Amino acid sequence: MTFLLAKMLLLLILAAAAGAALAWWWFRRHYEDVTLEYARSREDFLTWRDSFEERLAARPEVDLGPLREQIADLHLVVRDLPAPEPVDLAPLQARLEALHERFAQLRLPPPADLAPVDARLTAIEHALFPLQTRLDELSAAVRALRPSADAGVDEPPAPAVPEPDTETPAARNLLSHPTHGQPDDLTRIRGVPKVLEQTLHKVGVFYFWQIAEWSAEDVAYVDSQLERFRGRIERDAWIDQASELAQAPEAASRPDAH
Is residue 176 pLDDT above 90, yes or no?
A: no
Q: Which of 26-30, 150-154, 245-249 has the highest mean pLDDT?
A: 245-249
Q: Which residues of 140-170 are buried (b: 16+ CB within 10 A; e: fewer)?
A: beeebeeeeeeeeeeeeeeeeebeeeeebeb
Please give the pLDDT value at position 178. Answer: 86
- Rg (Cα) of the chain, in Å, rounded? 51
User: Where is pLDDT greater, at 144 or 53?
Assistant: 53
User: Where is pLDDT greater, at 233 or 137?
Assistant: 233
Inter-CA distances, 134 with 107, 125, 173, Å? 50, 14, 9
SS3 label, residue 206? coil
Residue type, 103: F
Q: What is the pLDDT of residues 6-51, one digit of tens each?
A: 889 999 999 999 999 999 888 877 766 677 788 888 999 999 999 9
pLDDT band at 155 (very low <50, low <70, confident <90, very high): very low
Contacts for 141 with CB less than 8 Å, ≥ 6 apart: 162
Q: What is the pLDDT of residues 183-214, one digit of tens each?
A: 999 999 998 888 889 999 999 999 999 999 99
Bridge partners, residue 159, by sequence: 147
Please give the pLDDT value at position 83. Answer: 79
pLDDT band at 134 (very low <50, low <70, confident <90, very high): low
φ/ψ of residue 63, rounded to 5: -90, 110
Please give the pLDDT value at position 149. Answer: 42
Is residue 156 pLDDT above 70, yes or no?
A: no
How far, in whole angstroms, is CA 56 from its chain's centroid? 64
Q: What does the domain layout of the chain look like in residue ranges?
A: 127-144+165-251
φ/ψ of residue 158, rounded to 5: -85, 140
Note the residue count of the chain.
258
Round to whole Å and give the CA distance between 245 and 184: 9
Answer for the pair 217, 224: CB distance below 8 angstroms, yes or no.
no
Is residue 131 pLDDT above 60, yes or no?
A: yes
